Amino acid sequence: MLSALFRAQEPSLAPFPPVLFDEIRMAQTLLIIPSFPAPLFQSNDSKRVTTETKPSMSIRRDPLDLLKKEHEEGQKHLERLGSAADSIKINGFSVEAFEEIVDAVRWMNTDVRRHTDWEEKHLFPLIERHTSELPEQMRNDHRELRSSFTQLLDIVREIEEGKMRGSSIHEIVQISYVIVELMRSHIQKENDHLFPLAQKMLTIKEYDELMHQVVASRS
């Protein structure tokens, strides 16, 4: 409509300067072509989970935050295990301290086992699509923890069955210290290195897969 008006008036007007023609063409373009905002997120499975994509994560909890929360709970159990070992080392064997160690064994045999098995089944394979070095270190930590846990479990069973040996008290204290040190070191490595690596390397599709697996395993 605007262009027709200009054409109707052209015979009675002096030629437009080139700059004015440019302005007219721009006005015609603005009238004909609507302007749409660019999409916030492009559909691209290979896109990394960077700071640009993190707003979409606020809708749902970050799966790695759930694992960190379990690490926080684990630190509390480790604190009690270490305190029980200190008590036995300083004051000698007591039922109260032994019960704290038994509680730690139950926790390791349930929550810790579930946590480490889940990481090896779901988290590590996703990271290993991009790099294998750090996941393999974490697997080695898990193997050491399982070995130490088995030793502690055997000693606890011996004591519960009334088969305490002369070295039992020393062994239960030392293996408790080993487990506390191993697990604290492992938690720090995952929080400070493994999880940031996952956030950096996993694609949006892989991150969504991780979220689905976390929810499914804890529902």
**How far, in Å, CA of 55 to CA of 59, rounded?**
8
Cα torsion angle, 145, 146, 150, 153, sign: positive
Query: Among 41, 34, 169, which residue's Cα sits nearest to residue 97?
Result: 169
- The structure's pTM equals 0.72
Check if CATH label 1.25.40.10 holds for domain 54-218.
Answer: no
User: What residue spans in the chain does CATH classification 1.20.120.520 cover?
Assistant: 54-218
**How far, in Å, CA of 94 to CA of 87, rounded?**
8
Q: What is the pLDDT of residue 216?
A: 82
pLDDT in tens, 104-146: 999 999 999 999 999 999 999 999 999 999 999 999 999 999 9
- The model's confidence at residue 39, banded by pLDDT at 50, 70 and 90, is very low
Are 172 and 156 in contact by the 8 Å Cβ rule? The answer is yes
